[in-house]
Structure 1
C-alpha cells in the first residue's frame, strides 16, 4: 500500500522509531515503552511499507506494531503456553512427539509478532546455540533413532547465515534415521530479500528431504516480492506448506481467510494448519473462541477449494500436543452401520456403511 513518507531503510526496533515512521502516535510512546520492556519489537521495511497508518484496524499493523493492550495479562495466560520446557531434554531441543522434534538454533526473528506464543523467549540478545550446545543437540538427535523429522524453529532459523544453515543441514543429513528437515519461517513474506540463491542452496538437503513451513496470516503479506522469494524455494524443489494463526481483527472472517489461503495456493504453498490462538501473555486481544473458529471452518468447507483447506488445531496448554478442532459432519444412527451425514450447507443425509 502506498505511503506518503519516504521508504523505510531498516528494521524498526523501538517505539521511538515506529513514531518517527508515522506508525504510532507520539502520545502513545510512554505506554509502548512499557510494552517494549517486556516484549521485543521489530518491524521490517517490507512489513512497514504495507501498513496504512490512517487505518486503525490495519491487519498488518495489528500483527507487528505494539499496543497498550499487551499490558493486559490474564490469569490464564502463561510464559510457556504450549509447554516446551518439560519436553526439552537438551538445550535447543523440544521432543514432544516420538518421531519428530524441534531444533531451536536461534531465538531471534526478523519481526516480532504481537501474538507470539514464544514471546517470553525470543528477542534481541536472545542467544543462538553455541558450538558446544549445537553439538549436544545434534548428538541427542543422533542418539534417538526414532526421530525421523527435525523441525528447525526458534526464533526464525532463516535469520542465520547461509553458511550456518548449510552446516546444520549437512550435519542432519549425516544422521541416517533423519528423513525430513523442516524449516518454520516467516522470512519469505516479512524479509523476502533474505531468500537468496545462496540461502536456497544451503537449505537443500541431500539424502533427507527439505520442507519449508511458511507462517502467513493475511493475503496482503503475499506481495510480489514474497511470491518471488517463495518461487526461488519451490523452483529449487523445496516443497512448502503454510501455517496461519486465527487472529481477531486480522483474519477472523471467512472472506479474509479464503483470500489468504487462495493467495498461498497460487504462490504454490499448501495451507496446512490454522492455529487457534495460544494463551501467551498479553495476547487476549487476538484470541477468538473455539466456537467461532469451528464456524469459520464449516463456512470455508462448502465453497472453497480443498487445496485451500488447512486443519484447524489447538496446541493443548501444558505440552500435551496438537489436536484438530474440526467441525463434526457425522452422527451415529439408531442401528448398526447407520449414520447421518451433514453436508457443508447444513443438509442432513442418511448413510449406511
Structure 2
C-alpha cells in the first residue's frame, strides 16, 4: 500500500515530526487550519528542519497578533463572480479549487483552503469562464487557489483550452506547489493538458533549496518540455530562508532546475503567522548582500502586499513604499480596474 498523506496530529507524532506530548495542542490547531504533508514532503521534513517548519503545525498558530488580518490580500472586495479575483486592469485570478497537496503554516489563504476542496461546481466554473470571455481587457489569466495542478488532467485541460481560445487572452499562468511537494502527481496526462499554443507560465512555489530533490528534477524538466516557462516564487520566512546562504542556495537551486526566480514575497500578515515574520529592512539587507554574489538571472523582485487589497509592489524602490503605505496608488504601473485598485497577481 502506498504511503498516505499525514493529516492529523497523531500522524505527525507517529512519523516522529512532533513529540507525543504536543498532540493535544496540535489537535486544536488542526480544527482551525488544515494540515497535510504528502509522503514526499514528510520524508524531506524528517531530515530538513527548514522544510518541517513550513508544514508542521505549531500551537502558536492560534495566537493572532494585533497586525494580522483574516484576509490580508483582500480578495473578497475584488471578486466580481465566485472564483475570480480582479485587481489589475489587464489580468485576473481564477481560483477553481481551494485544495492543496500540502498546507503551508504561513499561507495567506489558510482560513479558506482545506481538504473539502472548495471546488467550483460546473455552473460556477462556467460563470467564471464566461466572465473572462466578456472582458476583452483581460490579457492574462492566473490560475491559483488552492493548487490548480490538483485538478484532474481532463478538467484542467478543458479549462485551459477554453481560456486559451479567447482571442484577447494572450498569456496563462499557473501557481503551484505540486512539482516540489508531490512530483509523482505530474503524470503524462497532466503534462499533455499543459501543452498549449498560447504562452503558459508555471510559477513554482519553493522556499528552501532542499525542496529541489532528485525526484523533482525530472518532473521540472518534463514540465519545461511542455513549452511552459518556469518561474519561481518564494516567501521570506524566519527559520527557513532568512540568511544570505539560504537565499543564495535557493536561487541557485531554482536556476539549476530551469526555474527563473520571479518573486520573493514579504510575509502576508495572516492570523497566527508571526513566528515566520522577517522585517522588511532585514530582507532588503539580505538581498543587498547577495548583489554581485549571484547572477542577475537569480534575482527576484522583493514584493509585499499594500493594505486593503492595494496589491503587490516592489520593496526598496523609491516612490513605492510611502505611497502604498499611505493607501495611495504608487507611481508608474498601478491603475483602477472595474472593481477597485489594481494589484499584481
TM-score, normalised on structure 2?
A: 0.90
| Consecutive unaligned residues in structure 2, runs of 5 or more | 319-345
8 Å CA contact 1:107, 1:155 repeated in 2: yes
Which residue of the partner structure matches residue 10 of structure 1?
4
Which residue of the partner structure matches residue 148 of structure 1?
139
1:51 maps to which of 25, 45, 59 = 45
2:56 maps to which of 56, 65, 70 = 65
Which residue of the partner structure matches residue 333 of structure 1?
none
Which residue of the partner structure matches residue 236 of structure 2?
246
Which residue of the partner structure matches residue 88 of structure 1?
79
Distance 1:82 1:51 in 2: 28
Distance 1:218 1:101 in 2: 28
Which residue of the partner structure matches residue 345 of structure 1?
none
Distance 1:323 1:28 in 2: 39
Kindly indicate whether residue 226 of structure 2 is the aligned counterpart of residue 232 of structure 1: no
Which residue of the partner structure matches residue 283 of structure 1?
273
Which residue of the partner structure matches residue 257 of structure 2?
267
Distance 1:101 1:65 in 2: 32
Q: Which has the larger radius of gyration?
A: 1
8 Å CA contact 1:298, 1:327 repeated in 2: no
8 Å CA contact 1:109, 1:122 repeated in 2: yes
What is the CA deviation profile of residues 265-289 of structure 1, one whole-angstrom value per residue up to 9, with x for unaligned ones? 0100000000000000000000110
8 Å CA contact 1:42, 1:112 repeated in 2: yes
Distance 2:116 2:225 in 1: 35
Task: Give aligned pairs, total.
Answer: 318
What is the CA deviation profile of residues 244-278 of structure 1, one whole-angstrom value per residue up to 9, with x for unaligned ones? 00000000001000001000001000000000000
8 Å CA contact 1:108, 1:123 repeated in 2: yes
Distance 2:227 2:162 in 1: 20
What is the CA deviation profile of residues 32-86 of structure 1, one whole-angstrom value per residue up to 9, with x for unaligned ones? 0110011000001111111236x7xx10110000011111211211111011111
Which residue of the partner structure matches residue 36 of structure 1?
30
8 Å CA contact 1:8, 1:49 repeated in 2: no
| Consecutive unaligned residues in structure 1, runs of 5 or more | 1-6, 329-353
8 Å CA contact 1:227, 1:267 repeated in 2: yes
Residue pairs, 1:1-353, within 5 angstroms: 9-52=3-46, 58-206=49-197, 208-326=198-316
Distance 2:167 2:226 in 1: 23
What is the CA deviation profile of residues 305-330 of structure 1, one whole-angstrom value per residue up to 9, with x for unaligned ones? 111110100011311011000367xx
Deviation at 1:95, TM superposition (A): 0.2
8 Å CA contact 1:186, 1:214 repeated in 2: yes
Q: CA RMSD in A?
A: 1.3
8 Å CA contact 2:26, 2:59 repeated in 1: yes
Distance 2:225 2:134 in 1: 34
Distance 1:132 1:52 in 2: 42
What is the CA deviation profile of residues 71-118 of structure 1, one whole-angstrom value per residue up to 9, with x for unaligned ones? 121121111101111100100000011100000000000000000000
Distance 1:225 1:274 in 2: 24
Moved more, 297-306 or 141-150: 297-306
Distance 2:98 2:281 in 1: 33
Distance 1:63 1:174, change over 3 A: same
Distance 2:122 2:290 in 1: 46
Distance 1:38 1:246 in 2: 24
Moved more, 123-132 or 95-104: 123-132
Which residue of the partner structure matches residue 3 of structure 1?
none
Secondary structure of 2:86 counterpart: strand
Which residue of the partner structure matches residue 341 of structure 2?
none
More RCO (CA 8 Å, sep 6+): 2
Structure 1 moving runs of 4+ over 4 Å: none
Secondary structure of 1:49 counterpart: helix
Distance 1:30 1:317 in 2: 36
Distance 2:67 2:97 in 1: 28
